[in-house]
Structure 1
Amino acid sequence: EAVASCAELLALARRHGSPVIHVMHHGKAGGAFDPAGPHAAIIEGLTPVDGEQSVVKHLPNSFAGTDLADLLAATGRKELIVAGFQTHMCISATVRSALDHGYRVTLVAAACATRDLPDPLGGAPLSAAELHRVTLAALNDRFATVVADASVWH
C-alpha cells in the first residue's frame, strides 16, 4: 500500500513540475542494506527519471554526510513533502533534521511504512501499524504536518 501511495505522490509531483530528490540507504556489505543487495535499490516504479536527483546515505538522517542540503537549497524551496521507509527510523531522523535546516515538512502517512519491533523491556512486540501511528503523532507534534495521503494535492 505504501509503495502505491509513493507512486501516486511521485506522479503528482512530476505532473506539477516539482523538484524530486530520491534517497537510497546503503549500509555495510553483508548487512540489511548492502549496496549489492535487494534492500538498497530504489523500488521498481519509484526510480528517478531524467532531471531528478539522487542521494546515497549511510545513516538514518538523509542530511548526514550527503549533499541533500545543497540539492534542496538549489531548488529555492523551503517546503518539503516527504515519503518513504521506515517511518520510525529514516523518515523520523530526516524530518527532524529538515526542521533544523529551516524546512517546513509535510509528511504523507500513506506513503510511509515501517516494520514490527521487539519491545526492549520484554513486553509484546510493537506492531508496524502501532509504531507508524506513534511516530507520525510524535513528528506531527513539532516537526511536520502529517497528512493522510496525496489527495490533499488533487
Structure 2
Amino acid sequence: MKDSEVKQGLIVVDIQNDYFSSGNLELVGIEQAAKNAGKILQKFRDKQSLVFHIQHISNQSEATFFLPDSQGAKIHESVAPQSNEIIVVKHFPNSFRETHLLKYLKDSEIEEVVICGAMSHMCIDATTRAAFDFGFQCVVIEDACATRDLEHKGKTVKAAEVHAAFMAALAMPYAKVISTDEFGRV
C-alpha cells in the first residue's frame, strides 16, 4: 500500500437469500446488485484487503424474514464469505449497533469503508451514517445496493425512487456515492 492510500475495508450488508426471488422479501434489482457486489468483493479479495460480511438475524417475534436458522437468513452464494473473512451478525438496521464491527475496523486500522448491499433505505443508510459518525471515510457503491417499493399514506414509492433519494441523501456529506465501474477506476 502506498503512503498516500487509505486503508480500506469492505462491508457487504445483508445480501441474504430472503431478498432474492425464492425468499420472503424480494428486492427490486437484487440480482444485479449482488452481481456488482460480487465484483467489488473480488477486487478486495485480489488486493487481500479486509472484508466484513453483515448478516441480519431477526430476533423479533413478529419477523417474517431473516429468521434464525432459516435458509432465507443465509448469506447468498453470490457473495459467500471465505474462511478468512469476518461475519458480523446483527439484529438492527445499523451494522454497528450491539455488534463488534467498530472494534474490528479500529483494530484493523481501517480508515475508509466501502459499503454495498441491502436495503438502501434501511441498513445501507443506517450503517453509512453510523460509519461516518465514527469518523470513517465512506464510499457507497450505489449499483451494488438494492431496495423495494415502499408505501406511505396510500402512495406507492417505487424502488428506483426510494433508492435514488437515499443515495442522494448519503452523497452529502456522509459518503462518496459511486458505481461499480467508477470504483474500478479509482
Q: TM-score range by the shorter chain?
A: over 0.9
Aligned counterpart, 2:36: 5
Match of 1:55 among 88, 97, 101: 88
CA contact (8 A) 1:108 1:150 kept: no
Q: TM-score normalised to the size of structure 2?
A: 0.78
- Equivalent in the alignment of 1:122: 154
Segments ≥4 residues shifted beyond 4 Å: none
User: In the aligned structure 1, how far is the partner of 2:183 from the partner of 2:82?
Assistant: 24
Aligned pairs for 1:29-48 within 5 A: 31-48=64-81
Q: Which amino acid aligns with 2:58?
A: G
**Match of residue 142 from structure 1:** 173
Instruction: Count how many residue pairs are aligned between Structure 1 and Structure 2.
Output: 152
Shift of 1:122: 2.0
Instruction: Write the letter of the residue equivalent to 1:80.
Output: V
Amino acid of the residue matched to residue 117 of structure 2?
G
Residues 58 and 68 in structure 2, CA contact (< 8 A), matched pair in contact too: yes
**Do the aligned residues in 1 keep the contact of 2:35 with 2:78 (CA within 8 Å)?**
no
CA distance in 1, matches of 2:183, 2:40: 11
1:71 aligns with 2:104: yes
Q: Which has the higher contact order (CA 8 A, sep 6+)?
A: 2
Structure 2: state its 5+ residue gaps: 1-31
Q: Is the 8 A contact 1:106 1:145 kept in 2?
A: yes
C-alpha contact 2:141 2:183 (8 A) present in aligned 1: no
User: Using the alignment, how far apart are the partners of 2:77 and 2:48 within structure 1?
Assistant: 21
Unpaired runs of 5+ residues, structure 1, are none
- CA RMSD, aligned part only? 1.3
Larger fraction in strand:
2
How many angstroms apart in 1 are the aligned matches of 2:51 and 2:150? 30
How far did 1:150 drift?
4.2
Query: CA contact under 8 A between 1:9 and 1:150: conserved in structure 2?
Result: no
Cα distance in 2 for residues equivalent to 1:92 and 1:38: 25
Q: 1:25 aligns with which of 56, 64, 82?
A: 56
Provide the C-alpha distance between the structure 2 equivalents of 1:152 and 1:107, rounded to a whole number of angstroms: 10
Cα 1:50–1:150 shift into 2, 3 Å: farther
Identity of aligned residues (%): 36
Aligned AA for 1:68?
A: L
